[in-house]
């Protein structure tokens, strides 16, 4: 699946409210971490 900025924005909107959540550039895309562990990633 190609990277989609709209989907990324929707995911970001949800996970920013989670305690311990962070965002990190990884594998040429974006990865969402929860307490330092990968939960969801988007790769272009």
Interatomic CA distance for residues 42 and 25, integer angstroms: 9
pTM, two decimal places: 0.59
Would you state the pLDDT for residue 36?
Answer: 83
Give the pLDDT of residue 44. 46
What's the DSSP call for residue 4?
Answer: -
What pLDDT digit, counting tens, does each position of 2-42 carry?
677 888 889 888 888 888 888 888 777 788 888 888 765 55
Amino acid 1: pLDDT: 58
Please answer whether residues 32 and 23 qualify as being in contact, where contact means their C-beta atoms are separated by less than 8 angstroms: yes
């Amino acid at each position: 699946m190609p990277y989609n900025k709209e989907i990324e924005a929707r995911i970001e909107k949800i996970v920013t409210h989670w305690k311990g959540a962070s965002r990190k550039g990884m594998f040429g895309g974006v990865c969402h971490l929860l307490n330092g562990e990968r939960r969801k990633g988007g790769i272009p």
